Amino acid sequence: MAKKVLVAVFSASGVTKKVGKEIARIAGADFHEIIPGEIYTSADLDWTDKKSRSSVEMNDPSARPEIANSVADMGSYDTVIVGFPIWWGVAPRIIETFLESYDFSGKKIIPFCTSGGSGVGKSDTALHKNVTGDVKWAKGRQINRPNEAEIRRWLNEVL
């Protein structure tokens, strides 16, 4: 039977969402947007302000921003592609909330990121601690643009 794939993204300003939707289309996967309980305003996203919400969250490894929605049937997926923008070199804390909210046992998790220039760095492996059980992690990668040929090549490698 064909693998059932979910693409789940958090996207504060739309870049990761656009790439994630294209990945879902090409992979024939379901698409899910992780919606924060409290939407991030542009003031929240101001990385030049040490007191902005994003700065405060990223400085606190235990921060777990609430999520407003959920994946209806996580149990039915074999593979979950998780997309996020790089914030201060890693995934936003809300991705940690997401990963800690489900049982991923028996699944493969494939991280991808978008960024202003940073590569995936350790943003993928840093998330391994947030998931327990028997999970297969793919190496993460940065995909900043919804380029079909590039996405197809990548999906052939990781799926």
Ligand X SMILES: Cc1cc2nc3c(=O)[nH]c(=O)nc-3n(C[C@H](O)[C@H](O)[C@H](O)COP(=O)(O)O)c2cc1C
Interface contacts to ligand X, rule CB under 6 A: 11-17, 45, 47, 54, 85-89, 114-118
In angstroms, what is the minimal distance from the CB of 23 to ligand X? 13
**Taking the alpha carbons of 96, 105, 35, 121 in that order, is the dihedral positive or negative?**
positive
Pick the closest to residue 132 from 111, 110, 106, 113 (CA basis): 106
CA distances from 100 to 46, 132, 149 (A): 26, 8, 33
Q: Which is nearer to ligand X, 47 or 73 (CB)?
A: 47
In angstroms, what is the minimal distance from the CB of 65 to ligand X? 12
Q: Which is nearer to ligand X, 34 or 107 (CB)?
A: 34
Scanning the chain, the segments in alpha helix (DSSP H) are: 15-27, 53-58, 93-100, 148-158
In angstroms, what is the minimal distance from the CB of 52 to ligand X? 7
Dihedral angle computed from the Cα positions of residues 32, 38, 41 and 44, in that order, rounded to the nearest 10 degrees: -110
Q: Which is nearer to ligand X, 83 or 107 (CB)?
A: 83
Interatomic CA distance for residues 103 and 154, integer angstroms: 26
In angstroms, what is the minimal distance from the CB of 114 to ligand X? 3
Q: Which is nearer to ligand X, 36 or 79 (CB)?
A: 36
